[in-house]
Structure 1
C-alpha cells in the first residue's frame, strides 16, 4: 500500500466540469470508509493548479477521477502533465462510450484505467481502488471498441514464455504487481520483472494497453469487475 497506515482511506481528487456529477460522486464516496474526496476541479488547468499547491504541502491525492472532456485544458492534456509532474498519482479516466479514441489518448498519456460516466457507483469505487493498488481498471463496454483498433501485426503470444503468459493474463484481470505475486506465489520484485519483460516483448508502453490486447487475444476473460 502507498500509506504507512493500511487502514487510511484512498485520497481522491474529482475533475469534472459538471458540478452535479462531482456532487453525486462526492456524496457516494462520503458513505464509504475506504475512500475520501480531498478536492475538486472543473477543468484541467484547475487540477494542475490545485496539485501545485498540494505538492508544496506534501499533500497529494492518490487518485484523480478525470473527466476527459472539459473546457480549456482537457482531461487528456491534464493527465499527461499530471503524470509528468507527479508520476506516483494514478489517474482514472471518466468517459462516455462514444469517446473511445479519447480513452486511447488518455491511456497513452498515463491513465491507469477508465470508467464510463453512466457506470453504477460501485463500479466507480472499484476503479479507484484498483488504480490505487497499481492495477488497471478497464470498463468492459469500451474494451472491445478500443482493442478492435489496436494493431496486432507485430505482436504474438508465442513470443512469451508460459510464465509470462500467466502474468499477462493476470495483468488483464487488473492485478497489481503485488496481486500477481500473491497469485503465483512469487516475490513482488519478480512479478514486476515479468511485467516489464511482457511489455518490452509486446511493445506496449503501459500495462493497461497490454491488458486490452490480452483480453482481445483471449488470454483472459473480458473484464467484468
Structure 2
C-alpha cells in the first residue's frame, strides 16, 4: 500500500517507514512538510505516533490514510490533531487533493469519511 501511495504523490519526495516508532524517528530527523500515516501500524499505532509528534512539533501537518471509516475513529484522529483523513478506498481520487489542501493550511476529510460521519460535527 505504501508504494501505491508513493505513486500517487510522484511530485513529492516521499519516505516510507515500517512502523510508528520509525515514523516518530523520521519526523524528528527530517521534519517533513506533511506526514501521511496509517492508523494501524506495527508497534506504536499511528494515533499514538501522531500524539507524540504533535507534542514535539505542534505545527506538524498529519493526514491519516486508513481503511477505517467508523465515525469514532475519524473523530478521534481529528481530535488528536490530524489535519486530514482519507479512507484508503478514496486515496486514488482524493489523496493529492488532501495533500494540497493540508499543505495550504486547510483540513481535508475524504468523501467516504464524510459519508460515514453523516453530518456529525468533528469537534
Q: How does 1:115-134 map to 2 (within 5 A)?
A: 115-134=86-105
Which of 1 and 2 has higher RCO (CA within 8 Å, sep 6+)? 2
Following TM superposition, the consecutive aligned residue runs of length 4 or more in structure 1 with deviations greater than 6 angstroms are none
Per the TM alignment, residue 96 of structure 1 is displaced from its structure 2 partner at its CA by 2.0
Q: Which among 30, 48, 63 is matched to residue 92 of structure 1?
A: 63
Aligned: 1:51 with 2:45: no
Structure 2 stretches lacking a partner, 5+ long: none
Aligned positions, number: 123
For 1:88 and 1:98, locate their aligned partners in 2 and report how far apart those are by CA, in whole Å.
25
CA gap of 1:101–1:52, structure 2 versus 1, over 3 A, is same
Structure 1 stretches lacking a partner, 5+ long: 1-20, 55-59, 151-208, 211-225
Q: Which among 8, 15, 18 is matched to residue 42 of structure 1?
A: 18
- 3-state SS of the aligned residue for 1:94? strand
* Residue in 2 that maps onto 1:14: none
Relative to the length of structure 2, the TM-score reads 0.86
For 2:75 and 2:41, locate their aligned partners in 1 and report how far apart those are by CA, in whole Å.
17
| Aligned-CA RMSD value | 2.0
Task: Determine which structure has more spread, i.e. the larger CA radius of gyration.
Answer: 1
Relative to the length of structure 1, the TM-score reads 0.50
Per the TM alignment, residue 74 of structure 1 is displaced from its structure 2 partner at its CA by 0.5
